[in-house]
Structure 1
Amino acid sequence: MRELISMGHRIPPTNDNDTTATDPNVVAGGKRPKRPAPLPVRDGLNPSRVRVPDDAPLPLRAQDFVAALIATQRFRHPDDDERALLGRFSAGEVVGQHGEPFAPDDLLKPGVDVWFYRIPAPETPVPYDIKVIHEDDRLLVVDKPPFLATFPRGSHITESVLVRMRRETGNQELSPAHRLDRLTSGVLVLTKSQRWRGAYQELFARREVDKVYEATAPAEANITAGTVWEHRMEKERGEFKTRIVDGPINARTVVEEVTPLPSSEEQVLQRLHGVSSPLSRYTLHPLTGRTHQLRLHMYLAGAPILGDPVYPDVLPVDAEDFAVPMHLLSRRLTFVDPISGDFRSFESSR
């Protein structure tokens, strides 16, 4: 099976342990899946789907194909060995698109979808709780802490809001209606049933939700209420930083308010982050939703957000300290409910 790699036959990626790569519940620009997954969510995690490459060398056994997928994960559980692999087949947990189980020696054809469960690698627990802001029949709104991913991605699988809340509530249909960066805190809306998922995801995708953020950063005299930042931002897959490039504007942010921090709070944050300059709290209203938009706009304006490990300099991953968060907060979300037509407003208590 390693011939698929050594001969240049790339295995379609599933973002290592990222179960959302093929998760029919994941936010994807408001688009809804064509077919449901043939395996259920298990312990908060969706199954992974990988399509057999059109140029895969044949014959290709199901066991060899799945073994290669596991072996090439960047974040692999140490116990995910041959015994664990065969256990999946014995339990009927390696299946096709319609739920038909594969035996280890079944020969796969190019273009066939193979579904199975990955075993997430061990993760360092994030020492913050998720507070519930609001709950009704359709929505679960939470106050996301820093360092928790919104949904499984890369090396952050179980330490994500989605998996934690599915496990805590027992509701395996929970799904985010939108996304917050892993280091950003604040209001995050989840839908409680697949029945409502599309309507709320499309609401966010159409940018019909008004968002207000707060950032704590060095005081900068040139940033005042009413300041508007406009740029064209691009971020390539695999890059840490978003870049400013030439072209039509696609990133707009309005500064609504600038407030100096109270002396007591300022002194605490100065000690925590090792800075001596005066600090302010900036109320920001993004009119667009580019990746890292607020972080890059603040940096460009001369006031990088406290605790930002990317702007101005990318810090090593192992330098991350849970006691030193990034001070960017999704303070408030407001929208007209797509189901009831009611005005909804949710605010963080942080």
Structure 2
Amino acid sequence: MEKLNTLFKQLENQGMLPYFVTNLSHIYYLSNFTGSTAYILIDENGFEFITDGRYKNQIENEIDKAFKRVIVENYNRHFEKIAERYKKMYVDFKTPLDLYTKLKKNSDVIVDLNDIIGQLRLVKSENEIAVIKKAYEIAAGAFTDAISEFQFGETENVWAAKLEYNMKVRGARRPSFDTIIASGHRGALPHGIASGKKIDLAEPVIVDYGAFINYCSDITRMIYSGNDKEVLEIIDIVNSARMLAIESIREGKKACEIDAIARDFIEKKGYGQFFNHGLGHGVGIDVHEKPSLNPFDETVLKAGMIITIEPGIYFENNFGVRIEDTVLVTENGCEILSSMLERHFYKIN
């Protein structure tokens, strides 16, 4: 109820009522609804939760009594009625174009580009932090289980399946995103999701994955059993950049300042051109949330924000290295949520 009251006051103060919520992540944040189709309408009378008959029983168990429940038979007709009801309305920035167009026929529709609900989601509550920590416990335990099962000569898809299986049996609803197992030359692809490529003992392997239990976790570790000095040097540089960035995190710092610490270190080592993405991002209901830790995001960090720190170096057609931890920002520093995996890279037989 506290989230609803806070949002209502902000919308009222900014003259943004009525407000139509279509983003399912925002809807879960406000209502705890875990289904696949729903909308929330907020006006001067309160909160209206809109869904269809498939979820009639589900919403009785999931959503707060503060919501007026509306079960519709035809969404398009109901959208027409909403648009006819108001001369002017606001919609969240992820509203689908076809829905925006339908509403626009009968109402002046303004897209909330500042994402007022997304701003509320930046700082996590104690309950949210507890769930996110559980997602990291599941992910870390699954990695520990899976790494004993990984064998060279198997495909990236097989490694991903073993990791995802172990997350599921430990309680994950699903992976947070398509599991990345990127070995050898495929490690140069920052988003190299698992493929049919076989993994060789001499290759460095990026393992980037997460467990989802209504909130996400996101961890990256390296697996390398070879002895190539260049690979080991790059792993050490990336890990040092990660540690320097984490040590600098505290409330009041800007997101871009944290990015610069890791980026400057990698540049001084001569590999700046091979670090081709932002240092990190927020994590919560979505695996990629605000803020973005990049050279351009001046968001001031606040205690309660949860962010990833994931520097990387990538050599096209050769190999790549990325190491990622997730931290909870505190007033005087941060807490590493992925600390259950103490090592930054692993050797297997």
TM-score range, shorter chain: under 0.3
Larger relative helix fraction: 2
